[in-house]
Structures are given as C-alpha cells and as structure tokens.
Amino acid sequence: MAVRWLCSDSSAVPGSDGSGASLFGKPFDGGKRMDHGGPQQQHHHQPQQQHPMGQQQPYYPQHPAMMRLYEVQRDAAALGPQVCTFGGLQNDRDYKRLERDLTQLLLQVDQVDTEGKAELQGARKRAAQEVEGLLRYLEENATHPSRLAMEELSNEARRLVDERVVAPQRAGGVAEINDELVDMLQELVLRLTQVKTEGRVPLRKARYRALTRLCAVQDVIEGRTEQQTLSLPLSEETHEAVHHINQVMVKVSVARGQLVALLMGLSGRDSCAHLSRILTEMQVELDALDVSGNTAIRNYRKQVVEEINGLLKHLDLEVEGDDTRRYDLAQNNSIREIEAVRAHVSHLREGVLRHCMMGDMGFRPKAELQSLLTHLDQVDTAKNPCIREARRRAVVEVQAVITFLDLREALARRQPGPNEHPSHRAVWLVLGSLSDLQAQVLGFDGKRADKSYMMLEELLTKQLLALDAVDPQGDEMTKMARKQAVKFAQNILNYLDMKTDEWEY
C-alpha cells in the first residue's frame, strides 16, 4: 500500500474552541508520546502567527476543512493504542484491518479541500504525517527482523510438537515424548529469550506471547511424561471406583494432546470451548464417584483431579486469546518489583564504594542486602523465562555486593602469623588485588568495546594466571584458599560480562 512520506512540521493550528490547540503537533514518533499506546493530545496556548506584512493570519476553527481534520485526529487517536500494542504479522487479520482503517483516514485527509489557504494546508500536512507515522510504525513492527525471528522459532516449535506429539496421536498411535523432546523445547525457549526487542512494546508482547505458550506446552508435556511412567497405584479389583478413574485417565491423556495442539496453533480455536467442557465433565464424573472413605482411592482421584485442573489452567491461555492483560500484569508487578530491587541495590552499591574509597568500613548493609535476596525469591516469574532471567540478574547484582563486603571484611581482619605458609600468603595477596578490581567492576558502567572494560578483563585474567602459578606445596589450607580465590575471580569476570551483554526484557 503506497503512502506519502512527508517532512516533519510541528507548527500549531487553532482548536475548535478558538484557542491555539495543537492539531497532532508532531508526526508520530514510534509510540514515545503514547499514553497507553495512544497519542497524547497536547493543548496549549500559542500567540497568533504574524503575517510578513505585520497583519495577523486568519484562523479557521469552524471551517469545514478544519472540522474534518479534527475528526481524523480523533479517529487516529482511537487507532493509536491498537497500533502501538499490535505484535502480529502482516498476514494477520488485525493487521489488515488496522492498515485498511489508517489508509482510509489518509484518503480522507487527501480529500480535504484547503482552498489554497496556507494554514489549512499546514494542518492537512500534519494530519497526513500522523496517520502515515502510524502506518509506518505498524509495518515496521510486523516486518521487524526480531519479529520474523520470533515467528521462525515459533514455527520450529510447532513442527517439532506436531511431529512428536500431535500427529502420532491423531493417527491413533503413541506420542513420542521423551527427555530429548523436552530438551529441544527448552533450547527453543532459550533462543526466544535472546531475541532483541529494542524496547518496542509490540515486539516485547510478541516475544512474551510466544514464550508463554511454549512454556505452557513444556509444562503439559513434562506432566505427560511423568504420567506415562506412573504405574497405577491400585488394581481395578480393589474397588469399583478405580475402574472409572482409570477410564478418566485415558481421556485426560487424549485431552492433553489436544491442549498441546491448541497452544501451538495446530488446531482450530473453536475447539477450545469443547475441550473445556470435556475436562469439566471429567471433574464432575470424578466428584460423583463413591470412594467409601478409602484413603488410597481418594488420593488417586485427587491426583487425577489436580491433573485436570492443570490442563484447564493452561487452556485459559488459549481461551483468552489476547494475552495483553496477562502481559501487563507481569510487567506491572513482577518486573516492577525486580526493577525496584535493582534501583535499591544500585543505591547501596554506590554507598559501599563511596565509603570504601574513604577507607571507612562502617557502612555494611549486608542485612539489608540479604532482605533484598529474600524479596527476590518471592517474586512471581509466572514461569516466563524473561522475568526469570531478570530476577536472576538482580540476584547476581545483590550477591556481588555481598561478596565484595565479605572479602573486604576478611582482608581487614586478616592477621598473618610468622609461621604462615608462603603459598598461602601469595593467595591472599591475589585476593587483595581482586578486591580492588572488584570495586572497579562494581562501579563500571560502560560497554565491552570500551578500553576500561578490556583493561579490567585483562587484569582479572592476570590474577587468574597468578593463582595458577601458586604452588601449594602440599599445604591443604593453601589448596582450599586458592580454589576459593579462583572461583571468586571467575565470578567477577562473569559479573562483568553480565553487566555488558546488552540483555533486555
């Protein structure tokens, strides 16, 4: 669909109320001026523009052309949130609808008759720029290399699940579910987490959606793997209810395969409600069973009921369809908590480094740091790898400050005796150097291409070589100290790498 690309023009035109309200103001800027995805309509007073001859230019707030442009503004503002949260592809139904609606708005703008008036022409130009910006943003996200990479990984997962799980079951056979399949799915999950989103909300949501579905499939398949190897706890002769439970178990196995097909887009959406009814009927059937107070049978039934509840929980993802609400909850809760902890850690880290530079070891917020670790353990990751990785990184940041404080305290308390082994003394000298380097790493805020990064990496590597050169000469304490020092140096290097790997949510 061909659209015009016009230059930016941020001049203002009057509003319908006669004030200098801005019509669009600036061309669409990729969602930066969005409030929940929609353009922010900025209203402010401006002095009237002066004619070159000193006369004021006429305003046309009630002119039919201006009123039509205001209508276009309202329609574009209504489409803005949808454009800025759309994470699909160009062949999706919603993409075609949005493209069609925006193109119609652009045609309406083109049809506005400005009667040769410069101010109306400027307003029409800005209106066209805003709509074109929305069209461009929609297309850029749908065709972004990262979005295409996500789709390719999703298709790879679909092919894998179809070949190993769905197709064999539809053919009346047994699904090929094993550790190899679980590992292959986990690899796809990790590759998805590494796809860059450049901070774009549509790309973030697309990645979150793909990860959530794939993780749900993982849970379902892993549950099925356990069930296949589970021997029935009771024989059918023990109680009549066992026979009914075993029959339900067969239905659960079939339903599990159907759920996997739904989650991976290998089945029609109209079967979601049907599968939900089947699972609910299984629950009702199990609840109606008389177990006659038999604890073993009651526990067996409970196990199957919990299995069905787990399938229903995963089915909710497909029934809801648009998981924007689920994404927003994760962003607004889990990510917000993690970011709050990271901000707190950053504040404490700056305080620790500042006091250490002054030679003051009185500032020891270890108890506060430990409480942050406890708080991070309680953050709900919703089984999303991105949130899980964000939490892990926050934990590493806290632990880095704690280990720095521990080593500083150990160095301050150290009182070597006259009989100390020379090799043991050499290890402690390296630890002293590592402590100084760790302080620099904690305060480092650059990139891998920076000279300071390469210098720190080289110095840390030299300390590792120095530790390798230490000969314990059979002294067990030196062996243990050297081993701990090597691990400490490697942790600092890993922390430095983590700070500079440009990972993103």
* CATH topology agreement for domains 64-143 and 329-500: yes
Give the span between the Cα atoms of 224 and 100, in whole angstroms: 44
Residues 6 or more apart in contact with residue 258 via CB below 8 angstroms: 267, 271, 275
If one compares 41 and 105, the residue with the highest pLDDT of the two is 105
Give the span between the Cα atoms of 281 and 244, in whole angstroms: 13
pLDDT per residue over 401-454, tens digit each?
A: 999 999 999 998 888 888 888 999 999 999 999 999 999 999 998 888 899 999
Q: Which CATH class is domain 64-143?
A: mainly alpha
Tokens describing residue 94: 């919603």
Beta carbons of 216 and 317 less than 8 angstroms apart: yes
pLDDT per residue over 362-407, tens digit each?
A: 778 889 999 999 999 988 876 667 777 788 889 999 999 999 999 9
Residue for token pair 């990271």: 342
If one compares 323 and 492, the residue with the highest pLDDT of the two is 492
Residues 6 or more apart in contact with residue 207 via CB below 8 angstroms: 146, 150, 192, 193, 195, 197, 386
Beta carbons of 123 and 13 less than 8 angstroms apart: yes
Distances (CA, A) of 242 to 98, 234, 294, 404, 462: 55, 7, 11, 59, 67
Evaluate if residue 236 carries a pLDDT over 60: no
User: pTM of the entire structure?
Assistant: 0.55
Would you state the pLDDT for residue 407?
93
Domain assignments of the chain as residue spans, ordered by start: 64-143, 145-317, 329-500
Beta carbons of 162 and 264 less than 8 angstroms apart: yes
If one compares 100 and 206, the residue with the highest pLDDT of the two is 100
Instruction: Tell me what the mean pLDDT of segment 145-159 comes to.
Output: 91
> What sign does the CA torsion over 109, 112, 116, 118 have?
negative
Going by their DSSP bridges, the two strands 38-39 and 34-35 should be labelled as antiparallel
Thinking of the domain 329-500, which architecture would CATH place it in?
Up-down Bundle (1.20)
Would you state the pLDDT for residue 336?
82
Beta carbons of 209 and 87 less than 8 angstroms apart: yes
Give the span between the Cα atoms of 115 and 58, in whole angstroms: 13
Most confident of 210-214, 416-420, 475-479: 475-479
